[in-house]
């Protein structure tokens, strides 16, 4: 039986109540078979471990903990989902101290909460830690704000922060605020501090299984749900980090470049729940929870970007989003393949599972990951060194990939390690060489350690391993010391791996090593006895460089932005040393030379100011001087480059002049300005063009009839000054990306296009593109759109000033980079400015990209003047009836007949007859008109006749000449218009009913609103 998502959650609530298991525990990113999410089965204490291994609890009675991290001094830090951070003096300590409380900022609901925490390598010599949590508030809000969530959907955000240690507690510095979160699952995941001082953070796509259209605020149609993981492939909206891994420096700045998207090192991930770093290879391994098909272990290369394909692909095969527009054009070969995958339907993950890790109602969920270095007194046998351990929360098992060439995990060598373990959500190697994991089912930290089987040789016991000094400026001369004893009384020898490369290159109990380059080094001592037994322990050495102050700032700025700059010291100052900061901010405007304007100054670890409006090229130069409590002074300067836009300027017709702040320019021309800055464009009232003298009429877009117009573009723009020249008409080309957009986006991924891009994601009811169009005279104007699509028979509504006037339809162009023109759609416009819209309304269909709109010249027919002769005939009849007849009132009948002649005869006759008749009381007579045609300019006719009724009837005719204006076509030809070539609205071309004229007929003409 398949359950709905809500039904499954309710079912789990019942199970949780009966079993006494925390309701939250089942929500950690697990995926059931066919993408459904189920609670994982409960597991008893670990068994099935290889001989010599022990699984034991070390820290119990915890409150829903999510991360554990070990310091070089032996202390242990455990982070709770609620936002508390606890410190234990050792793994044997039973009374933790709260050293951080982020609960006021943390959204603790469902999968949301504090999900990632890690100390910097060498902590506390490097006194920093990093944390990733779901934040109380949206991306566009200051944290914290708003109530806690309780039901789906509920929009919140994520926060990556640095925690600075003062010896007894942490203080928070927020680094990256992003990650729109709608649903409680697939949210914020893990954080990883790297030896080079940078930090990685991972997050899921925040989508509900099977849904791809749930939208965050301001999220474009067609880019939501799981497709957020491919936001790197879209344009026109701010970059988002859901479904991805980012890497930043200690201040939150990107490591690959200045742009916000340069934080990304991996995109296209569904739920990258856990990460681990390999010191052997320098790579990061990521456990990515799948949906319908597979669980994956991916490889991320620090400071290098790769797309891993979700939801276009799952694992290394087609995924649920393969046939969406965003995934169109992303072949599997252009995505990064997973290192290792296992199928949801597989009975065994490893060949030696032997049925011990079956698929249950809990489905599959790769949830723990640890690259094993193998140092310390409890280290595993040498064959496990550089193995990659991973666990599945739902299957309740642990496996490992054996190392291959260069220490790289070999996906063909997967082995069973343990079964029936608890609900593992985190795995870390401890300084003693044991693997520690958090079991969310028992709310404890457990340890798997190795103990030599009884009856064999016992390895030496290492009682001490030190480095003196353990930190200092490079070059750093350090003296190592180790002490160990052999249980059997043998002589102990010592070998040292002083740089963590896996090679023991130095021997002796107390070697002296000089570290010439700054860095964090994990030195390992191996103590061996005569019978081949050995133990290892690690010690961390931090060689620092000279004190350097760095400035954290936005990668770019726009006019009006509120810019905050921050100062930080590297290496981090030791406890007891403080720094003060003085700031100077200068605006530098450089054309042929540079001149400076001081903007502001201040003191403190940060400074905030507003970006000014100034002509391009302009940069902001930020300078900071740092002074330590010991009197040392260091300084640095950082140049902040503006975000720019390009403005294309022209006259219609081209060849005129436009004046801006730099002077007069011949059109067309373009210039660069700072985004959101202001510029004034001015044109003369009249200009001489090749076709004649033009009189200024208006600017487009906008329709301003003022010769000077001020612009403040937020994106690339085009401005055209229109001039009216008697007898001359010019087609107006209006770029789609400069129009008013509703529900659509500018897309720059499909050249060759006109202008700076096209309009894409034009696929939902309510989407529209609206241009301001100014026409000089009243008339009928042809509208032609340039478009591209792979879809047949698409339809869009055409609207003028908000009213539907027609529809436009066309066929496929053969690809998104192949452009074609629509058939012209005629619309009637009065002189002035109008809003012309192409809109997706009810009944419209298919995807299209729009490049531009061409507004052609008025197609109204010419006006001609002709001279015509009007002949007027007046007939008066008087009838005398017998005396006994009562006469009716006088009746007057007037009839006019107008004859339109071909162009060779410019005469139109009108004949008027007026008749007064005395008739019997019940009779009313209407006489027909008389029409007389003559090729003469003037004619006179006189007629006398005798009526059959007495008395005599007299008729007289008079003629007058008048001048009239008439509109006539130059040629009259019968037109046959095929139905299939017309503008179709909600009907279709049908070619199944021959014989017919043309290429088909119009069918499905059967509903209100259908039209041809």
Please, are residues 217 and 155 in contact by the beta-carbon 8 Å criterion? Answer: yes
Task: Report pLDDT for 49.
Answer: 87
pTM over 0.85: no
Tokens of 53: 């291994």
Tokens of 985: 């609205």
- pLDDT tens per residue across span 176-213: 999 988 877 788 999 999 999 999 999 998 887 555 55
Tokens of 961: 């000449």
Using alpha carbons only, give the angle 461, 464, 466 rounded to the nearest 5 degrees.
145
- Determine which helix (DSSP H) or strand (DSSP E) holds 14, and give its type and residue range: helix 5-19
DSSP annotation string for 701-750? TT---SSEEEE--SS-EEEEEEEEBTTB---EEEEGGGSEEES-EEE-SS
Report the distance separating Cα 12 and Cα 18, nearest Å: 10
Length in residues, the chain = 1012
Report the distance separating Cα 209 and Cα 196, nearest Å: 37
**Of 400, 451, 447, whose CA–CA distance to 424 is shortest?**
447
Task: Report pLDDT for 471.
Answer: 82
Task: Report pLDDT for 217.
Answer: 62
Task: Report pLDDT for 10.
Answer: 29
Spatial CB neighbours of 151, under 8 Å, sequence gap ≥ 6:
none
Report the distance separating Cα 273 and Cα 295, nearest Å: 11
Q: Is 25 helix (H, G, I), strand (E, B) or coil?
A: helix
Q: Is the dihedral of CA 316, 318, 320, 324 positive or negative?
A: positive
Q: Which CATH superfamily is domain 648-855 in?
A: Galactose-binding domain-like (2.60.120.260)
Reported as half-sphere exposure (CB side, CA atoms, 13 A), residue 388 has a value of 30
**Of 520, 529, 431, 541, whose CA–CA distance to 487 is shortest?**
529
Tokens of 348: 């065994």
Domains of the chain, by residue range, sit at 1-60+273-292+344-446, 461-544, 548-640, 648-855, 862-878+893-918+951-968, 976-1012
Task: Report pLDDT for 940.
Answer: 36
CATH of 548-640, one of 3.90.1640.10, 2.60.40.10, 2.40.40.20, 3.40.50.960: 2.60.40.10
Tokens of 192: 């990883």
Burial of 886 (C-beta count, 10 Å sphere; 0-12/13-18/19+): exposed
Can you list the residues of the chain whose pLDDT is less than 50? Answer: 1-46, 861-971
**470 C-beta neighbours (distance < 10 Å), count:** 17
Q: Within its chain, how far is the Cα of 677 from the centroid? A: 25
Q: Within its chain, how far is the Cα of 878 from the centroid? A: 91
Please tell me the CATH code under which domain 461-544 is placed: 2.60.40.10
**767 C-beta neighbours (distance < 10 Å), count:** 23
Task: Report pLDDT for 932.
Answer: 37
Report the distance separating Cα 332 and Cα 573, nearest Å: 47
Task: Report pLDDT for 606.
Answer: 95
Task: Report pLDDT for 965.
Answer: 40
Task: Report pLDDT for 973.
Answer: 60
Report the distance separating Cα 805 and Cα 827, nearest Å: 7
**Of 414, 270, 419, whose CA–CA distance to 340 is shortest?**
414
Long-range contacts of 86-90 (CB under 8 A, 24+ apart): 88/59
Do domains 461-544 and 548-640 share one topology? The answer is yes
Using alpha carbons only, give the angle 785, 790, 791 rounded to the nearest 5 degrees.
80
């Amino acid at each position: 039986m398949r359950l709905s998502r809500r039904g499954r959650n309710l079912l789990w609530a019942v199970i949780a109540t009966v079993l006494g298991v925390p309701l939250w525990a089942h929500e950690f990113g697990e995926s059931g078979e066919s993408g459904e999410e189920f609670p994982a089965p409960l597991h008893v204490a670990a068994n099935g471990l290889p001989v010599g291994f022990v699984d034991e609890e070390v820290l119990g009675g915890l409150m829903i903990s999510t991360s554990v991290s070990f310091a070089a001094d032996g202390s242990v830090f455990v982070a709770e989902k609620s936002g508390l951070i606890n410190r234990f003096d050792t793994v044997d300590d039973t009374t933790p101290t709260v050293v951080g409380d982020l609960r006021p900022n943390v959204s603790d609901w469902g999968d949301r909460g504090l999900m990632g925490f890690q100390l910097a390598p060498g902590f506390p010599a490097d006194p920093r830690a990093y944390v990733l949590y779901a934040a109380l508030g949206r991306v566009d809000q200051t944290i914290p704000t708003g109530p806690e969530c309780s039901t789906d959907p509920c929009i919140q955000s994520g926060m990556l922060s640095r925690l600075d240690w003062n010896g007894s507690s942490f203080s928070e510095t927020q680094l990256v605020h992003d990650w729109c979160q709608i649903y409680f699952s697939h949210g914020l995941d893990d954080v990883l501090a790297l030896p080079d001082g940078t930090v990685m953070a991972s997050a899921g796509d925040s989508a509900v299984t099977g849904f791809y259209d749930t939208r965050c605020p301001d999220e474009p149609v067609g880019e939501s749900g799981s497709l957020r993981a491919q936001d790197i492939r879209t344009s026109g909206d701010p970059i988002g980090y859901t479904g991805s891994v980012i890497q930043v420096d200690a201040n939150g700045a990107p490591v690959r470049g200045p742009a916000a998207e340069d934080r990304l090192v991996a995109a296209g991930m569904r739920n990258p729940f856990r990460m681990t770093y390999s010191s052997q290879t320098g790579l990061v391994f990521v456990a990515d929870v799948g949906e319908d098909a597979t669980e994956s272990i991916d490889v991320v290369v620090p400071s290098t970007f790769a797309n891993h394909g979700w939801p276009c692909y799952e694992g290394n095969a087609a995924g649920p989003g393969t046939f969406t527009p965003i995934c169109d054009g992303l072949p599997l070969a252009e995505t990064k393949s997973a290192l290792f995958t296992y199928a949801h339907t597989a009975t065994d993950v490893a060949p030696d599972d032997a049925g011990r890790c079956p698929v249950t109602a809990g489905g599959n969920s790769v949830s723990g990951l640890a690259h094993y270095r193998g140092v310390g007194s409890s280290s595993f046998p040498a064959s496990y060194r550089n193995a990659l351990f991973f666990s599945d929360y739902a299957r309740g098992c642990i496996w490992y990939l054996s190392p291959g060439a260069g220490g790289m995990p070999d996906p063909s060598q997967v082995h069973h390690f343990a079964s029936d373990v608890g609900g593992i959500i985190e795995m870390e190697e401890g300084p003693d060489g044991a693997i520690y994991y958090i079991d969310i089912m028992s709310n404890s930290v457990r340890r798997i350690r190795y103990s030599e089987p009884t009856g064999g040789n016992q390895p030496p016991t290492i009682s001490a391993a030190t480095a003196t000094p353990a930190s200092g400026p490079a070059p750093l001369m350090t003296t190592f010391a180790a002490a160990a004893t052999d249980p059997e009384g043998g002589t102990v020898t010592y070998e040292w791996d002083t740089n963590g490369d896996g090679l023991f290159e130095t021997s002796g109990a107390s070697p002296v090593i000089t570290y010439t380059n700054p860095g964090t080094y994990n030195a390992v001592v191996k103590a061996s006895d005569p019978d081949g037994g050995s133990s290892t322990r690690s010690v961390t050495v931090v060689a620092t460089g000279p004190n350097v102050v760095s400035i954290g700032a936005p990668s770019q700025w726009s006019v009006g932005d509120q810019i905050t700059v921050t100062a930080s010291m590297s290496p981090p100052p030791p406890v007891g040393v403080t720094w003060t900061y003085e700031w100077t901010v200068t605006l530098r405007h450089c054309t042929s030379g540079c001149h400076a304007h001081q903007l502001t100054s201040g003191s403190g670890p940060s400074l905030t100011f507003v970006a000014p409006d100034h002509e391009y090229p302009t940069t902001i130069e930020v300078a900071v001087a740092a002074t330590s409590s010991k009197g040392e002074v260091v300084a640095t300067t950082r140049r902040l480059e503006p975000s720019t836009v390009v403005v294309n300027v022209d006259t219609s017709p081209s060849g005129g002049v436009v004046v801006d702040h730099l002077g007069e320019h011949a059109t067309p021309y373009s210039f660069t300005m700072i985004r959101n800055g202001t510029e004034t464009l001015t044109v003369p009232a009249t200009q001489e063009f090749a076709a004649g003298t033009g009189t200024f009429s208006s600017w487009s877009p906008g329709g301003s009839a003022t010769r000077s117009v001020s612009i403040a573009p937020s994106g690339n723009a085009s401005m055209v000054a229109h001039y009216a020249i008697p007898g001359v008409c010019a087609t107006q080309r209006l770029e789609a990306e400069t129009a008013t957009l509703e529900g659509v986006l500018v897309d720059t991924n499909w050249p060759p296009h006109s202008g700076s891009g096209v309009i894409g994601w034009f696929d939902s009811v309510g989407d529209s593109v609206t241009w301001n169009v100014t026409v000089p005279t009243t008339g009928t104007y042809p509208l032609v759109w340039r478009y591209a699509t792979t879809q047949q028979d698409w339809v869009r509504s055409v609207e003028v000033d908000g009213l539907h006037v027609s529809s436009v339809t066309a066929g496929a162009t053969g690809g998104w980079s192949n452009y074609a023109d629509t058939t012209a759609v005629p619309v009637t416009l009065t002189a002035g400015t109008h809003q012309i819209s192409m809109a997706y309304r009810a009944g419209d269909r298919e995807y299209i990209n729009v490049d531009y709109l061409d507004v052609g010249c008025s197609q109204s027919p010419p006006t001609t003047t002709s001279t015509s002769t009007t002949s007027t005939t007046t007939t008066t009849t008087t009838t005398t009836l017998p005396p006994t007849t009562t006469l009716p009132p006088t009746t007057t009948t007037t009839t006019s007949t107008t004859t339109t002649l071909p162009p060779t005869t410019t005469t139109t006759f009108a004949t008027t007859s007026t008749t007064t008749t005395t008739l019997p009381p019940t009779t009313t007579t209407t006489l027909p008109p008389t029409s007389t045609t003559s090729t003469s300019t003037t004619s006179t006719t006189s007629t006398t006749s005798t009526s059959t009724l007495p008395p005599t009837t007299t008729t007289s005719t008079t003629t007058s000449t008048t001048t009239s204006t008439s509109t006539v076509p130059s040629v009259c030809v019968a037109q046959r218009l095929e139905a299939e070539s017309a503008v179709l609205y909600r009907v279709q071309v049908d070619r199944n009913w021959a014989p017919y004229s043309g290429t088909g007929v119009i069918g499905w003409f059967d509903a209100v609103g259908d039209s041809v």
